Amino acid sequence: AQSVTQLGSHVSVSEGALVLLRCNYSSSVPPYLFWYVQYPNQGLQLLLKYTSAATLVKGINGFEAEFKKSETSFHLTKPSAHMSDAAEYFCAVTRSNFGNEKLTFGTGTRLTIIP
């Protein structure tokens, strides 16, 4: 079975500060990992994904994540927070990138940006 743990259900950072959202995964097979962002009353928007091509993955809106197998982590970072980054962020794991396996999500981290 696969699982994802997101440490910190709420994270607050000042505008312009570093954003770090933590995700640890458990998987018996090489995982595919995703970060999604959700704004109020919206669906999930893909920020970035790890599909084994490169361990440092760059996504949209200045976000990036690094896959560390030894730490079973896939933390999301952004060098400088912007007010528009306030949203809920979900880390997800699956065994395949082809849609034939379910996504298993973490419980989410709500990011608040302090002006």
Partner 1 sequence: KAGVTQTPRYLIKTRGQQVTLSCSPISGHRSVSWYQQTPGQGLQFLFEYFSETQRNKGNFPGRFSGRQFSNSRSEMNVSTLELGDSALYLCASSSDSGYTFGSGTRLTVV
Binding site for partner 1 (CB under 8 A): 34, 36, 41-46, 49, 51, 90, 92, 97-108
For partner 1, the closer of residues 43 and 115 by Cβ is 43
* Closest CB 15 distance from partner 1, rounded Å: 27
C-alpha 67/C-alpha 55 separation (Å) is: 5
Token pair 């949203």: residue: 87
* Closest CB 108 distance from partner 1, rounded Å: 7
* Closest CB 14 distance from partner 1, rounded Å: 27
Burial of 23 (0-12, 13-18, 19+ CB in 10 A): buried
For partner 1, the closer of residues 26 and 107 by Cβ is 107
Please state the φ and ψ torsions of residue 85, each to the nearest 5 degrees: -80, -10
